[in-house]
Structure 1
Amino acid sequence: MLYLYSPEQQDHYHRLLQEALPDWSVASWPQEVNTEAVTHVVTWKPPVNFFSRFPNLQVIFTLGAGVDKFLQRDDIPDHVTIIRLTDAGMAQQMTEYALYGLLHYQRQMDIYRRQQQAGIWQPQPTRLARNTRVTVLGLGQLGMQVAQNLAQLGYPVSGWSRQPRTIDNVRCVHGCAALDDLLKETDVLFSVLPSTTETQHLLNAQRLALLPKDAALINAGRGTLIDQDALLDLLNQQHLRFVLLDVFAEEPLPATHSFWQHPSVLITPHVAADTIPEEAVAQIAANMQALASGHPVQGMVDRHRGY
């Protein structure tokens, strides 16, 4: 039996899952079921101790790409396989989000906004895409596609990851030493990194300061990546010109946080890329078939790596 917990779109997901998996019995929270019969769960943001009720649980499918909250739980036994979404319509949205922030910086909309507020009519020098260096942090399924899409638009794109990667038309580097050198050559830094022990405050005060003066930062990965106090200091020093932040160390971002009113900060409420139900269910169904047949599965989580 497959059990679904997704209160915000429960009926929609239930219908899609039942259509995609006609040979499976699909039940939805809060429906009462024989908990011993549940072997697979599809869910996002389940409550505390949710998984403890299923003694024969084998696989958890998450309705998102990030799995840090799942790996922090104590109700998921080690033998249970966790499979995350690798795209499900998110790559296109993530590209759009990155491109919006990139154009906001390249076309100097942040400067024009301040000029508008001050009643100043002053054209700024033209900056072309080919003269705007972009670095993508995180070259998984989402980051790889963002990097490729931006490169196709004429931007010089570099990508950084922990492990070696090869992407057409993208300069790829890996390792912390390479990151430090890369930041010095970056005009717009875009992150889609997951939250792991290795990425915690990866962008600390020292690394953020390596970005050239008047560079921009776009974070659509996880808020724990950045030392927020250090970022605020660099903004106040006018070392960084503009930041677009979709994720934060604490969410929702507290109403008293300085980011809200800062003139160089643009905030969105963790909406850079939403899961598309139809594509998510198609991916889940394909992975269930792959599991059953012993074929490779996309999105299988390595708990040691954290993604």
Structure 2
Amino acid sequence: MLILFAAPALWPEYETLLPAALARAGIEAQVVTEADPAEVDIIIYAPSSWLQDFTPYVKAKAVLNLWAGVERIVGNATLTQPLARMVDPGLTEGMVEWVVGHALRHHLGMDRQIVNPGHVWDPTCPPLARSRPVAMLGLGALGLAAARALQAMNFPVTGWSRTAKEIPGLTCLSGKEGLRQALSTAQIVVTLLPKTPETENLLNAERLSWLPKGAVILNPGRGPLIDDEALLAALDAGQVAHATLDVFRVEPLPQDHPFWAHPKVTVTPHIAADTRAETAVEVLVANIARARDGLPLLHLVDRSRGY
């Protein structure tokens, strides 16, 4: 089996780990960074790759994306091979830690103590987590894991997804009215949806107005989920108390972007979660074995839905 690793910038992280994982699984394969397209059986890929024309790869059984997001590849008309996105346990753990950390930061009002140049003695105690409703927008692997972690700390979590879901122990809503219901009581909103035409500007001026005054927004999902201008207006009006943003329409975030200077915005540089090679190789190997055996891929992308 010939595997093309078409993500040169990431190759040093995988050069040793991937062959070792393949050997542990008993898979005889050669992993290369260059190959005759007609001979390639599997493509491991990142959307920043040099590979943009999949037409010559007539033998390839699968394209395995190294990123959770596939919006930069799913519309490629030359890509006719099955495409799998990366659902990496390490990435999930990192996302959960970021979401829980920043949710607790805002819930406990940590900024008041961390940034307190006037040495103000403010003995105000926060409510218990059970009194701080959270709306989790997106109930995929990342959203559900983050929701469960917040539930474990007694935050009442309402989940919302574009299609109806039933998840034991979690209130699940869908559709426009479901979104309004989820937002109408949320003091913390977490956005963990993929970028698709349907999710772009999901949080616009109208929907931000549905929030209780003073809600907090955490966006580690995709930059275009939020209308930037509408968010800035909501922050200025006090409708939204703070926004902690990890993802942006343009990255790195331009130095003149208003988010940098806004006192109610925290910018984190797309660090909420990352694919970690030591755990991602196990996901890759599982799908390589399935492709070899003619089985459906794990985390197969639905092209019609864009993720």
Q: TM-score, normalised by structure 1?
A: 0.92
The question of whether the paired residues in 2 share the 8 Å contact of 1:191 and 1:220 is answered with yes
User: Is 1:158 aligned to residue 163 of structure 2?
Assistant: no
Q: Which amino acid is 2:100 matched to? A: L
Deviation at 1:204, TM superposition (A): 0.9
Query: Which segments of 5 or more consecutive residues in structure 1 lack a partner in the other structure?
Result: none
Deviation at 1:113, TM superposition (A): 4.7
The question of whether the paired residues in 1 share the 8 Å contact of 2:60 and 2:81 is answered with yes
Q: Which amino acid is 2:49 matched to? A: P
Matched with 1:91 is: 92
Map 1:150-189 to 2 at 5 A.
150-189=150-189
Residues 95-120 of structure 1, C-alpha deviation per residue, up to 9 Å, x if partnerless? 11111111111111234455x13442
Of 21, 28, 32 in structure 2, the residue corresponding to residue 27 of structure 1 is 32
The whole-number CA distance in structure 2 between the counterparts of 1:144 and 1:126 is 26
Q: Which amino acid is 1:61 matched to? A: L
Q: CA RMSD in A?
A: 1.8
Matched with 2:105 is: 104
Deviation at 1:65, TM superposition (A): 0.8
Task: Tell me the SS of whatever aligns to 1:70.
Answer: coil
User: Is 1:46 aligned to residue 88 of structure 2?
Assistant: no
Deviation at 1:55, TM superposition (A): 4.4
Map 1:144-293 to 2 at 5 A.
144-293=144-293
Task: Tell me the SS of whatever aligns to 2:151.
Answer: helix
Task: Tell me the SS of whatever aligns to 1:89.
Answer: helix
The question of whether the paired residues in 2 share the 8 Å contact of 1:243 and 1:265 is answered with yes
The question of whether the paired residues in 2 share the 8 Å contact of 1:59 and 1:82 is answered with yes
Q: Which amino acid is 1:180 matched to? A: R
Residues 152-193 of structure 1, C-alpha deviation per residue, up to 9 Å, x if partnerless? 111111111112223333211111221012101101000110
Deviation at 1:50, TM superposition (A): 5.4
Matched with 1:18 is: 19
The whole-number CA distance in structure 1 between the counterparts of 2:240 and 2:105 is 14
Residues 34-73 of structure 1, C-alpha deviation per residue, up to 9 Å, x if partnerless? 2211131112121363545534433211111110011243
The question of whether the paired residues in 2 share the 8 Å contact of 1:158 and 1:171 is answered with yes
Residues 239-295 of structure 1, C-alpha deviation per residue, up to 9 Å, x if partnerless? 111111000111111100110011111111111111111211111111122233344
Of 66, 69, 75 in structure 2, the residue corresponding to residue 66 of structure 1 is 69
The whole-number CA distance in structure 1 between the counterparts of 2:52 and 2:170 is 43
Q: Which amino acid is 1:195 matched to? A: K
**When the two structures are aligned, how many residues end up with a matched partner?**
301
Deviation at 1:147, TM superposition (A): 0.8
1:112/1:209 CA distance change after superposition, 3 Å: farther
The whole-number CA distance in structure 1 between the counterparts of 2:261 and 2:110 is 17
The whole-number CA distance in structure 2 between the counterparts of 1:55 and 1:296 is 18
1:231/1:253 CA distance change after superposition, 3 Å: same
Q: Which amino acid is 2:68 matched to? A: A
Task: Tell me the SS of whatever aligns to 1:117.
Answer: coil
Task: Tell me the SS of whatever aligns to 1:105.
Answer: helix
The whole-number CA distance in structure 2 between the counterparts of 1:110 and 1:232 is 20
Q: Which amino acid is 1:57 matched to? A: A
Task: Tell me the SS of whatever aligns to 1:20.
Answer: helix
Task: Tell me the SS of whatever aligns to 1:305.
Answer: coil
Q: Which amino acid is 2:76 matched to? A: R
Deviation at 1:5, TM superposition (A): 2.5
The whole-number CA distance in structure 2 between the counterparts of 1:138 and 1:73 is 25
Query: Which segments of 5 or more consecutive residues in structure 2 lack a partner in the other structure?
Result: none
Task: Tell me the SS of whatever aligns to 1:213.
Answer: coil
Identity percentage of aligned residues: 35
Task: Tell me the SS of whatever aligns to 1:3.
Answer: strand
Task: Tell me the SS of whatever aligns to 1:95.
Answer: helix
The whole-number CA distance in structure 2 between the counterparts of 1:84 and 1:190 is 22
The question of whether the paired residues in 1 share the 8 Å contact of 2:159 and 2:182 is answered with no
Deviation at 1:26, TM superposition (A): 1.0
